[in-house]
A = this chain, B = another copy of it.
Amino acid sequence: MMKFIFASNSPRRKEILLKFNIDIKFVPHHFNENAVDKNIEPHSYCKIISNKKADSIVDIYPNQPILSADTIVLSPNKSIFEKPRNEQDAHRMLRALSGKKHQVLTGVSIIHKQAKINFSFTETTLVEFNNLRDEEIYYYIKHFEPYDKSGSYGIQGFSSIFVKSINGCYFNVVGLPVSRLFYFLKKFNLVQFS
């Protein structure tokens, strides 16, 4: 099996991928995410960012498949929620998500220069939040870490109790839609489980 490169140091993506018995090396990408115009349509936006992350290291690993991903939270009124800047910003996002449905989008890219593969897709999951009380939001912000998470919550941690239900891929909300990723890795003959 080939050795994969993952252009990300996200501990959550690492944890997801380490279950699959595949040889994978996690490296930082060399792309400045702030260089992308945030007014692009969100599904394209995260696909472009993800593609540019993988592309930024393609000349270092031209003979290996490079994977990358970018996750954003699209608020109920369709603005992009990224990582919160401070407590107030985290509270603003969680208040906006409370009692409503929002979308989580992950752009994923697979680039293998030698094999002429350069493919990206965006996976969408619908997430419905419970009604949150302010005390609960502040308790969460104080005792848990919203600051490294798009939209200020992590579906896998304490804030799992904020989530009433989801429709779509759970791991897409964590940061990597494994089911669809492996569908394409198998299609491109980059992995084989048999």
A interface residues, Cβ below 8 angstroms from B? 19-21, 130, 133, 135-136, 138-140, 143, 155, 157-158, 160-171, 178-179, 182-183, 193-194
Chain B contacts for A179, CB-based, 8 A: 130, 160-165
Copies in the complex: 2
Chain B contacts for A155, CB-based, 8 A: 170
* A103 to B: closest C-beta gap in Å: 14
- In the assembly, what is the distance between CA of A179 and CA of B132, in Å? 12
Verify A160–B171 contact, CB threshold 8 A.
yes
Verify B193–A136 contact, CB threshold 8 A.
yes
User: Given the interface contacts A158-B19, A166-B166, does A136 sit within 8 Å of B171 by beta carbon?
Assistant: no
Please name the 10 residue pairs, one residue from A and one from B, whose CB atoms are nearest each other, closest first: A135-B194, A170-B170, A139-B193, A161-B182, A167-B167, A165-B168, A161-B179, A136-B193, A160-B178, A139-B194
